[in-house]
Amino acid sequence: RRTTRVHHLAQMKAEGEKWSMLTAYDYSSARIFDDAEIPVLLVGDSAANVVYGYDTTIPVSVDELIPLVRGVVRGAPHALVVADLPFGSYEAGAQQALESSIRFFKEGGAHAVKLEGGERVADQIAALTAAGIPVMAHIGFTPQSVNGLGGFRIQGRGDAADQLIADAIAVAEAGAFAVVMEMVPADLAGQISRKLTIPTVGIGAGNETDAQVLVWQDMAGFTHGKTAKFVKRYADVGGDLRRAAQQYADEVRRGTFPGPEHSY
Ligand code: KIV
Ligand code: NA
């Protein structure tokens, strides 16, 4: 089995082969996704929500994310591991983006970084790419800008389509190896995917992108509360885990666990 690297993703686009990406935040889940042959794992700043319990992705820090990257890299020997640059770690400019990304590479062992924004982060993307750090861009709905965008909203509708297209072109020209498009009308995402030579990765962006990404807890039913319309739930890990915990507690209470087969 091959180890996925950035050039394989370009190759898959050229061959019309769609691929998937999942988030991962620890060694154990990364091992499972690597075994499942998911080619790209993202240590998303969505760790803010699903690992640390923050309401938004804004508070999470580089220091909180690096240890997660380390676990994922150890658990996934074949996957390309992409580390999300959190809010506050790249907006100040190319120098800051370089310093943060270098930490994710040297301390975390990441293979690529991801950052949010289109035209406004083209300088950062160009500087990182020049330094040998592959960059995945992220346009459309960008959760770190939730306050500026006025909530969780579909992006690129109507007149805003031109800006989204300009953002996609800008990140590709700056050297990004792929671009995530989040909550974008399917037709527009398809149009951008056909226009760009780099792969597009959709989340709430319809079926015509080159790849798809989901937060693993969302797709596996391990999130609390309601999930977005774009999520498909492939399992009930949360329910299974709750039932397992209840059964374990119950058996301990009744004195039926541990049994002789679990005893020395
Ligand atoms: O942080 C994250 O999980 C993401 C993906 C949903 C693209 O950025
Ligand atoms: Na993210």
For the chain, domains (ranges, CATH) are 6-233 (3.20.20.60), 236-264 (no CATH)
Distance 52 CA to ligand 1 centre (A): 15
pLDDT exceeds cutoff 90 at 86? yes
pLDDT at residue 124, as a whole number? 98
Contacts of 155 (CB under 8 A, 6+ apart): 139, 140, 141, 149, 164, 182, 183, 184
- pLDDT, tens only, 97-122: 999 999 999 999 999 999 999 999 99
Buried b (16+ CB within 10 A) or exposed e, 233-256: eeeebeeeeeeeeeeeeeeeeeee
Beta bridge partners, 214, equal 22
pLDDT at residue 225, as a whole number? 83
C-alpha gyration radius of the chain: 20
- pLDDT, tens only, 137-189: 999 999 999 999 988 999 999 999 999 999 999 999 999 999 999 999 999 99
User: Residue 97 and residue 163: Cα distance in Å, rounded?
Assistant: 23
- 3-state DSSP call for residue 20? strand
pLDDT at residue 210, as a whole number? 98
- pLDDT, tens only, 229-261: 999 999 999 999 999 999 999 999 999 999 999
Residue 224's pLDDT band (cuts 50, 70, 90): confident
**Cβ atoms of residues 19 and 9 within 8 Å:** yes
Ligand 1 pocket list (CB less than 6 A): 23, 42, 44-46, 84, 138, 180, 203, 213, 215
Look up residue 250 and give its two tokens: 């119950």
CA–CA distances in Å: residue 257 to residues 202, 240, 253? 46, 19, 8
- Looking at the CA of residue 47, tell me the nearest atom of ligand 1: 1
Quick one: average pLDDT of 67-87? 98
Annotated active-site residue 208? The verdict is no
Percent of the chain, pLDDT > 70? 100
Output the residue whose Cα is nearest ligand 1's atom 1: 44
* Torsion, CA 229, CA 233, CA 237, CA 239, rounded to 10: 70
Ligand number, closest to the Cα atom of 217: 1
Distance 23 CA to ligand 1 centre (A): 7
pLDDT at residue 53, as a whole number? 97
Distance 46 CA to ligand 1 centre (A): 6
Number of helical H runs and strand E runs in the chain: 11, 8
What one-letter code names the amino acid at 91?
E
Instruction: Respond yes or no on whether ipTM tops 0.95.
Output: yes
pLDDT exceeds cutoff 90 at 263? yes
Is the overall model pTM greater than 0.90, yes or no? yes
Residue of 15, 37, 182, 208 marked catalytic: 182
Sign of CA dihedral 181, 186, 188, 190: positive
